[in-house]
Structure 1
Amino acid sequence: MIQFHLVAFAKIDKPELQERNITGISIEETIKENRKVDFDQLGIHQTKIYDFNLLEPEMEFFGPAVVEDPSTTVVIFPNQKCTVDKYANLHICISEGANE
């Protein structure tokens, strides 16, 4: 036998989404550091670097910002707003004037 191909389907239960706990940590306590970040045509900005694992539901902050996690990095450009939901999803408002 030179080659073998198998396709299988199985019905599984949907995983239950886990809500992120609220501990009362402040948004300032989630900042790992501040550093300069180059936003291409928007230039270089002093930028807050947030620890994703510390962010809690209903927290919000404005760009320029970077959210770091071991598996990904999320960039929030200047004048964008980021809000964390109860499942730790990051919602980024990209419209102009988001920080007004």
Structure 2
Amino acid sequence: MNTIRQLIQYVPIKKNDLILQMRSEKHQAERGKPIMEKLKSRKFWMAIVTAGLVIANNRLGLNIPEESIMSIAGVVVAYILGQSHVDAKKAE
């Protein structure tokens, strides 16, 4: 696999390819972030809290109506998707 990367480095690239390569390098850099930095994500914590609410409602018998749980989950999913879109635009 390294030999393929080495060969690709010598292939002439167009402007759009360069942008894709830069995004890929940024993605690789973000993948190396320490776990503690990833735990600061609001999207991550919203997903954890929502999953905890669903599990608590089923296991502990909180008796929250299913429609309410689905509404809360829908709002959280919309928030996460919207925030992801904002983060992607900010990264450009």
TM-score (norm 2): 0.20
Higher relative strand content: 1
Higher relative helix content: 2
Q: Which has the higher contact order (CA 8 A, sep 6+)?
A: 2
TM-score (norm 1): 0.19
